[in-house]
Homo-oligomer: A and B are copies of this chain.
């Protein structure tokens, strides 16, 4: 099946980002397709490449970028990003900033849409 993922919270502050990531890995392992990950609200903070993480902890933005490199679409809401200081200049590789219409597309083309948030 095709799964769309909506993430509404920033990394580290809430577990939403971790749960979404674990859910996506399990979905791919079972042969499902991830039609896209949409970052909304504070979720956009997942996609800054400026994170500087202690060596003993996971690097959440790098993890997303690596997933993008494997072909998973990473879409960052432009309006939410602007409010929170996320722009093209600080964006991780393999993600793109785009409009809310992309979330609508994701809802239309995915068999399931799963939301992770606070």
Q: Enumerate chain A interface residues (CB-CB to B < 8 A).
A: 10-13, 41-42, 45, 48-53, 61, 82-87, 89-90
Contacts and interface: CB of A to CB of B under 8 A. Distances in A.
Secondary structure of the A contact surface, majority rule: loop
A8 to B, nearest CB: 10
A82 B61 CA distance: 12
8 nearest CB pairs, A to B: A50-B85, A48-B85, A52-B82, A51-B85, A13-B42, A12-B83, A50-B87, A45-B84
A51 B12 contact: no
Most B Cβ at <10 Å: residue of A48, A50, A89: A50
A85 B81 CA distance: 13
A116 to B, nearest CB: 15
A65 to B, nearest CB: 13
Nearest to A51: B85
A5 to B, nearest CB: 20
A7 to B, nearest CB: 13
Contact of A85 (B13, B42, B83, B90): B90
